[in-house]
């Protein structure tokens, strides 16, 4: 079965420091991968998505970037964090229709709670 991992689970960083969050998926090949941010008590904001290695689409202009160095690895980075970058960062995956998996079912990782001070 497929599983998705994110680390770290929680992170406290000072303003201006760099950021690297990692997401990996197991049990599937060539997944679509997504990064979302959720501010406290708010909805899901899509930040980036990727349909393949090295293919990144950015949804909002910001000081964050994403990379996909391997098929099942998705990394979210920043060179200098802002206070407004605080939030709950969720990675998600989906696959082409195959067996019992419907098209574009998205499954979320456990998330990283980031606090920028």
Partner 1 sequence: GENVEQHPSTLSVQEGDSAVIKCTYSDSASNYFPWYKQELGKRPQLIIDIRSNVGEKKDQRIAVTLNKTAKHFSLHITETQPEDSAVYFCAASRGSSASKIIFGSGTRLSIRP
Q: How wide is the angle at C-alpha 42 spanned by C-alphas 85 and 116, nearest 5°? A: 20
Phi-psi region of 47 (alpha: psi -120 to 50; beta: other; left: phi over 0): alpha
Task: Give the binding range for partner 1 (CB under 8 A) out of 12-20, 67-75, 78-86, 95-103.
Answer: 95-103
- The position carrying tokens 């090949």 is 29
- Whichever of 83 and 103 has its CB closer to partner 1, that residue is 103
Pairing of strands 45-52, 55-58: antiparallel
CB 11, CB 18: distance < 8 Å:
no
Q: Smallest distance from the beta carbon of 80 to partner 1, in angstroms?
A: 27
Q: Smallest distance from the beta carbon of 24 to partner 1, in angstroms?
A: 15
- The position carrying tokens 């574009």 is 104
Binding mask 20-59 for partner 1 (x = CB under 8 A): ------------x-x-------xxx-x--x-x-------x
The H-or-E segment that residue 51 falls in is strand 45-52
Q: Smallest distance from the beta carbon of 52 to partner 1, in angstroms?
A: 10
**One of 84, 102, 115, 117 touching partner 1 (CB under 8 A):** 102
Would you tell me which residues interact with partner 1 (CB under 8 A)?
Answer: 32, 34, 42-44, 46, 49, 51, 59, 90, 94-96, 102-111
């Amino acid at each position: 079965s497929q599983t998705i991992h994110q680390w770290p689970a929680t992170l406290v960083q000072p303003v201006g420091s760099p950021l690297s969050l990692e997401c990996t998926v197991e049990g599937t090949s060539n997944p679509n991968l997504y990064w979302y941010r959720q501010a406290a008590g708010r909805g899901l904001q899509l930040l980036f998505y990727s349909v393949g290695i090295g293919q990144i689409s950015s949804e909002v202009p910001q000081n964050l970037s994403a990379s996909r160095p391997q098929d099942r690895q998705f990394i979210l980075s920043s060179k200098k964090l802002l206070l407004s970058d605080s939030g709950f960062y969720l990675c998600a995956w989906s696959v082409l229709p195959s067996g019992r998996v419907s098209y574009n079912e998205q499954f979320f990782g456990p998330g990283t709670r980031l606090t920028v001070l």
